[in-house]
Chain A
Amino acid sequence: KAGVTQTPRYLIKTRGQQVTLSCSPISGHRSVSWYQQTPGQGLQFLFEYFSETQRNKGNFPGRFSGRQFSNSRSEMNVSTLELGDSALYLCASSREGGSRNEQFFGPGTRLTVL
């Protein structure tokens, strides 16, 4: 069974631009969560989607948004990029989401904002 895939793997943008990252979950998984990983802040939860609905949201500004499609694939968008948005963005999928389901991570998208 294929794992979680994320595209692109690397991205370089400039301040003020916007970016869209994509995540394809493991086949059969309906929940997708997004995380931001930085050396200073560690792994921080962005949001979780289940059956095309945002189920949970972390403490990030409204510039960060996401969506999930009927095939469970998910995208996250960051608008008006800031230097501090440079990070590894990780997507994780689980079968049903919630507190008792294992999450499996993708390799991440490394975003650099210049």
Chain B
Amino acid sequence: GENVEQHPSTLSVQEGDSAVIKCTYSDSASNYFPWYKQELGKGPQLIIDIRSNVGEKKDQRIAVTLNKTAKHFSLHITETQPEDSAVYFCAARGNDMRFGAGTRLTVKP
């Protein structure tokens, strides 16, 4: 099966700074890599995803990069805002979806 490791487990940044979360996966059959944001009391919300034929994707302040050779992918949030504070999960999909353990991001105003 697929194992997804995510780092760091907690991340605290000052408003306006950038935040980077990294994930590695083990199953070379994985070809879809979504990122989710989960706020307290809610289900995970898809914020960006990337497919294996693409190296980088950007959506406003959020970007994701994928290195298939090294089997790692990263989430980059620029110009962070307090409302970005949440738990972020990476995932990798092969036969099923496997999630990282999550990163609790705190953006201090």
Contact = CB atoms under 8 A, between A and B. Distances in A.
A102 B43 contact: no
Nearest to A47: B96
B98 to A, nearest CB: 7
A45 interface: yes
Contacts, number: 53
Interface residues of B, number: 26
Interface residues on A, range: 20 to 34
B89 A45 contact: no
A108 B46 CA distance: 15
B25 interface: no
Contacts of A102: 34, 46, 49
Interface string A1-32: 00010000000000000000000000000000
Interface in A68-114: 90, 92, 99-100, 102-108
19 contacts: A33-B96, A33-B97, A42-B102, A43-B44, A43-B99, A43-B102, A45-B96, A56-B95, A56-B96, A59-B1, A92-B43, A99-B32, A100-B32, A100-B51, A104-B46, A105-B43, A105-B46, A107-B41, A107-B43
Q: Which 3 residue pairs across A and B have the least CB separation, nearest first? A: A105-B43, A43-B99, A99-B93
Given A102-B46, A108-B43, 13 more contacts: A4-B43, A42-B100, A42-B101, A43-B91, A44-B99, A45-B98, A56-B96, A100-B51, A102-B34, A102-B49, A103-B46, A105-B43, A105-B45
